[in-house]
A and B are shown apart, each in its own frame.
Chain A
């Protein structure tokens, strides 16, 4: 029974609750292990389930903390409990890879919040998530231009997130934020263009332009 097979099965089990349950059922139906994959499943299933579960939960918690650091204003505005709850659902659906996985994970999570904020999502969360997600995309040294449109000025939302003020009490200032990098790998500059005072605006959520 090769370690490579055990590591592959273990990684699948730890990162997908669905696969974990399916392989557990598969292991229970094995009478005599046949083939390396079945042997590996059988071997991994000898690990006490609570230990695997504890580690799997720690993986999601670690992801959640890392994404929270990438989206600090979103976390504050949504609230820790709602953020964790939303993230837990997101974590079961996707698993990030690559050296920029926390950044990519945060971008994907912010996009899910934007598309489906949920009925209890405070006003402004969609906008701040869109802004912070765009800021993360702008950090990719290969990206030359990133832009986002929000209903509120980002600085107003960030300030509200730290003071606890409701976004609904803010004056809406539709704002376009653009990040420009003149050359790949070079520094990125952020430009904001806000309307000076509130004006009637469409009811749709913040829009990602690129």
Chain B
């Protein structure tokens, strides 16, 4: 029971020209995301409070924003007005942190309802969460923890995702995370796991290139080999940023410029995947804003090289 989408964007062509062949098996558990029908957003920034003025001042150089959904849950009206103000100027993509799709105990209903309300309020072309769990036994970790690459984990993720998909038509894309450790019980490699998960749920992928690179550095493996195993035809959006080394371990700290290796991975993926947008996730050690805009422009040029989003002179811009 599989939903299949084939979205083809001819390399070098404008991103608004696409030939799509899609078919969804009636019995599949999740209707497959039709990536080619999603708008090509370009390159944007994960919105952070310290950036607020700069983001508005330079809005012509930022294609869209990713907002952290948790920052807008159970907040005063003023915070929601900020959201509306941003929405007046940008397409907003909500990025959840704590839905804990990998929780074997199921979703927290209160949090689920808050996230659903927020996504409905924003009405984005897609929204995102993680292939991870963040809570169990009444305890919130406050951070993403890995699930084993197992069939049981796929069943759990699929059930939790189906619960949310019953409430929201907005396409959901799933992010790969970094992990300090692996839970016992791996039955598949990460690529095969994500392929089966996306087939089962119909979700797209938010491919975090920095996470992919970080895991390869810390646990071994060639990032390109990992990319070859991934269902690249499901990649809707990218994350990219730089981390820092600490006692021989690469930390996904979102605190450094994008390293050369991640730029190479981005070039590789953009040549092969129907990516609709890319977000720079700089959180810490903030440089002058112009530096961030330079990184956005570099990613934008890479995407245009591979025809992922329009050039300024194209009709689609």
Given the known A-B contacts A11-B135, A185-B76, are A99 and B98 also in contact in the complex, defined by CB atoms under 8 Å?
yes
Tell me if B147 is interfacial: C-beta within 8 Å of chain A.
yes
Tell me if B180 is interfacial: C-beta within 8 Å of chain A.
yes
B50 to nearest A CB, angstroms?
10
User: Which B residue's beta carbon lies closest to that of A65?
Assistant: B284
Pairwise interchain contact A141-B141, C-beta atoms closer than 8 A: no
User: Which A residue's beta carbon lies closest to that of B136?
Assistant: A7
Encode B141-154 as 1/0 by CB contact (under 8 A) with A.
11101011010110
B214 to nearest A CB, angstroms?
13
**Residue among B136, B142, B145 making CB contact with A101, cutoff 8 Å:** B142
Pairwise interchain contact A95-B139, C-beta atoms closer than 8 A: yes
Given the known A-B contacts A141-B75, A185-B76, are A11 and B181 also in contact in the complex, defined by CB atoms under 8 Å?
no
Given the known A-B contacts A3-B156, A54-B180, A99-B114, are A11 and B136 also in contact in the complex, defined by CB atoms under 8 Å?
yes
Pairwise interchain contact A62-B105, C-beta atoms closer than 8 A: no
Which residues on A sit within 8 Å (CB–CB) of B104?
Answer: 2-4, 7
Pairwise interchain contact B140-A98, C-beta atoms closer than 8 A: yes
Which residues on B sit within 8 Å (CB–CB) of A101?
Answer: 140, 142
Given the known A-B contacts A15-B139, A98-B140, A188-B76, are A10 and B180 also in contact in the complex, defined by CB atoms under 8 Å?
no
Which residues on B sit within 8 Å (CB–CB) of A90?
Answer: none
Pairwise interchain contact B137-A55, C-beta atoms closer than 8 A: no
Pairwise interchain contact A54-B249, C-beta atoms closer than 8 A: yes
Tell me if A12 is interfacial: C-beta within 8 Å of chain B.
yes
* SS class, residues of chain A in contact with chain B: helix
Which residues on A sit within 8 Å (CB–CB) of B183?
Answer: 3, 6, 10, 43-44, 47
User: Which A residue's beta carbon lies closest to that of B219?
Assistant: A51
Pairwise interchain contact A10-B136, C-beta atoms closer than 8 A: yes
B75 to nearest A CB, angstroms?
7
How far, in whole Å, are A46 and B185 apart by their CA atoms in the complex? 11
Tell me if B128 is interfacial: C-beta within 8 Å of chain A.
no
**Residue among B98, B105, B182 making CB contact with A7, cutoff 8 Å:** B105
Pairwise interchain contact A47-B139, C-beta atoms closer than 8 A: no
Encode B110-151 as 1/0 by CB contact (under 8 A) with A.
010010000000000000000001011111111101011010
Tell me if B78 is interfacial: C-beta within 8 Å of chain A.
yes
Pairwise interchain contact B181-A59, C-beta atoms closer than 8 A: no
Tell me if A96 is interfacial: C-beta within 8 Å of chain B.
yes
**Residue among B77, B111, B145, B185 making CB contact with A99, cutoff 8 Å:** B111
**Residue among A3, A15, A58, A185 making CB contact with B148, cutoff 8 Å:** A3
Tell me if B237 is interfacial: C-beta within 8 Å of chain A.
no
B96 to nearest A CB, angstroms?
11
A32 to nearest B CB, angstroms?
17
Pairwise interchain contact B138-A97, C-beta atoms closer than 8 A: yes
Encode B199-232 as 1/0 by CB contact (under 8 A) with A.
0000000000000000000000000000000000
Given the known A-B contacts A51-B180, A98-B140, A99-B98, are A10 and B145 also in contact in the complex, defined by CB atoms under 8 Å?
yes
Sample (14) of A-B pairs whose CB atoms are under 8 Å apart = A3-B104, A3-B183, A11-B137, A11-B145, A12-B137, A46-B184, A47-B181, A47-B184, A48-B181, A51-B181, A52-B181, A55-B143, A55-B181, A97-B140
Listed from nearest, the 8 A-B pairs whose CB atoms lie closest are: A4-B104, A7-B136, A51-B181, A8-B137, A55-B180, A11-B136, A3-B104, A43-B184
Interface residues of A (CB under 8 A from B): 1-4, 6-8, 10-12, 14-15, 43-44, 46-48, 51-52, 54-55, 58-59, 62-63, 95-101, 139, 141, 185-188
Interface residues of B (CB under 8 A from A): 70, 73-78, 98, 103-105, 111, 114, 133, 135-143, 145, 147-148, 150, 152-153, 156, 180-185, 249
